[in-house]
Each structure stands twice: as C-alpha cells, then as structure tokens.
Amino acid sequence: MNKLIITCAITGAEVTKSMNPAVPYTVPEIQEAAYEAYLAGASIIHLHARLDDGTPTQDRKRYQELINAIREKAPDVIIQVSTGGAVGMTRSERGAPLELDPEMATLDCGTLNFGGDDIFINTENDIIHFATLMNQKGIHYELECFEKGHVDMALRLNKKGFIKDPLHFSFVLGVNGGMTGEERDFRFLKDSIPANATFSVAGIGRYEFPLARYAIQTGGHVRVGLEDNLYLEKNVLAKSNRELVEKVAGIAKEFGRMIATPEEARVILGMEKRHG
Ligand code: KMH
Ligand code: ZN
C-alpha cells in the first residue's frame, strides 16, 4: 500500500486552552507543536493563526511569522494554511494567507451549521473565488468536505474547470452540523470520489481514531490534532499534538503502513511547485 500522509491540525480556531491547556496560541507554542508533530511523523501541518490570547486571526503578518518559525525548525514540512479561518470572517479576510504564496491551503467546499447559532459559509462563489486565487498561484488545495453535498460541489466545479486535478479530498466528519463519522459515512464518501483522487480523513472528537483506522486500512490518509480532538482516549486529555500523531503512527504500524516524509507526500499528492 502507498505510504501514509499524516496531517496535524495543531490549533484551529475554535478550541481553547480552557478546554485543553495544550492548545498552542503563541508563535513559540505553535512552532514547538508543529516541530514535535513533524518529528512524530506529520508531513503536513494544517495551520491556523491565533493571537497570543487565543483569538483566531487570518492576519497575513501573523501567518508569515508562524511560517518562518515553523520553517526554522522543520524546513521541509508542508505547511497548509487555512482559508476557512473562523466562522464569521469575511471572504477577503480568509484569503489573506494566500498572499504569502504558501505551498498548500484548504478549500472548503460547502456551507454547514457549525454548532449553536454558527454557520460556516462557503457559497459556490466563495469556493470559485478561493480556487481561482490558488490556481493563479499554483497553490495545492485540500478539498475540505464536511458532508456528501460538498463532495458533489467539488466534483461539479472540477468538471467546470474551476477546481483542477489532481484532487485531494479531506473528509472532515463529526462536526455538529455536518455528517457524522460512522464507518458507513466514511465508505459512502470514499466511494463517491474518482478512483485517481486521494483522500484524508479528519474525525472530530471521538471519531478521530476510528476514522484513522478505516483510512489506514483502505489506502487513505489521516489528519489528527487538537483542532479536531482534544482527547488521547476517553476522559484523557492529550498532553500535546505530538501524542495524537504518535497514536496514529502506532495504528499505522499495526497495519504495516509506512509513514510518508514530506517529500514523499508531495509525490503522492502530485504537488508540482514548492513554495516558501
Ligand atoms: N474553523 C472552521 C470554521 C479550514 O481550516 O479550512 C473552518 C476550518 C476549515 O477550520
Ligand atoms: Zn482548519
């Protein structure tokens, strides 16, 4: 089987230190979290920016500081910036990190409820807008799909030429408002994408490790991290992102799946250009 790409979503925009003190906010904290995740086997760092008090931000300067800090310790790791940001951010705010010409970024493929009164808005025109910016700069996208309609949207925009091949999907399952992360959900999504597309799963909360197992067994890739899940196991908070990556690396070993280096991940995903 192909090697396993592990992505670590180290901080996100919603989780806080009051939920788990290990959630990194500051530049040194995010730098250390990314470095440790990389040493444990992550080849992609899914990056959100936070202010020192934890407020999520898409500020271009803050992203640049974070990217520089991560590169200092892990020069070859793939940094995937978020264009999702946090619920309520404007389109132009969300697109700011793309100005830094990152190597990879997320492309969220549809709108969904996001718990309580929150709605994470990704209209068709939003998706086309971000895809076009990324196409112009040769930024590789990860197609974040929180339910089946998002997969259909991505495939439709691919057919229309807005979303280019090679397609790499990320099934983010278990958000309060999106699709759950049961095995049947995973299989339905996996069977809905073209045979030559790649996919990764990001299980939210308790779905993180069961979904990682399904993906590892079926040739898919895996995202873990405190953005998605705060617990190492039931009632045990993870002490770090590293612990979550180590756990998924252990599952990969159990199934005889080797772990991809960043360079190998670039080849598997068909990434053409390497950005600073
Ligand atoms: N914070 C969520 C509202 C992404 O990174 O592209 C959106 C999110 C997706 O995390
Ligand atoms: Zn994210």
The answer, yes or no, to whether residue 51 has pLDDT greater than 80, is: yes
Whether the pLDDT of residue 274 is over 70: the answer is: no
The response to whether residue 143 sits with its C-beta less than 6 Å from ligand 1 reads no
CA distance 42 to 105: 16
Other CB atoms within a 10 A radius of the CB of residue 272 amount to 9
Atom of ligand 1 nearest to the CA of 120: 3
CA of 95 to the centre of ligand 2 (A): 13
Atom 4 of ligand 1, nearest CA residue: 84
Q: What is the largest CA-CA distance in the chain?
A: 46
pLDDT band at 240 (very low <50, low <70, confident <90, very high): very high
User: Residue 85 Cα, ligand 1 centroid: separation in angstroms?
Assistant: 5
Over the stretch 120-174, which tens digit does the pLDDT of each residue have? 999 999 999 999 999 999 999 999 999 999 999 999 999 999 999 999 999 999 9
What pLDDT, on the 0 to 100 scale, is given for residue 272? 81
12 Cα–ligand 2 center, Å:
5
Q: Which atom of ligand 1 approaches the CA of 56 most closely?
A: 1
C-alpha 263 to ligand 2 mean position (Å): 22
Instruction: Kindly report the protein residue whose alpha carbon is nearest to atom 6 of ligand 1.
Output: 84
- Determine the distance separating the centroid of ligand 2 and the alpha carbon of 81, expressed in angstroms: 8
Closest Cα to atom 10 of ligand 1: 84
The HSE-up count of residue 176 (CA atoms within 13 Å, CB side) is 7
> What do you get for the CA distance between the two ends of the chain, in Å?
30
User: Exposure pattern of 81-120 as b/e (b: 16+ CB <10 Å)?
Assistant: bbbbbbbebeeeebbbbbebebbbbbbbbbbbebeeeeeb
Q: Is the CB of 95 under 6 A from ligand 1?
A: no
User: Where residue 1 falls among pLDDT bands split at 50, 70, 90?
Assistant: confident
Question: What is the pTM for the complete model shown?
Answer: 0.98
Residue 86 CB–ligand 1 contact under 6 Å: yes
- Ligand 1: does its nearest atom lie under 6 Å from the Cβ of 197? no
Residue ranges in 97-256 assigned as alpha helix (H)? 124-137, 148-159, 183-190, 208-217, 241-254
CA of 97 to the centre of ligand 2 (A): 13
Q: How far apart are CA 222 and CA 171, in angstroms?
A: 10
* Residue 243 identity (one-letter amino acid): E
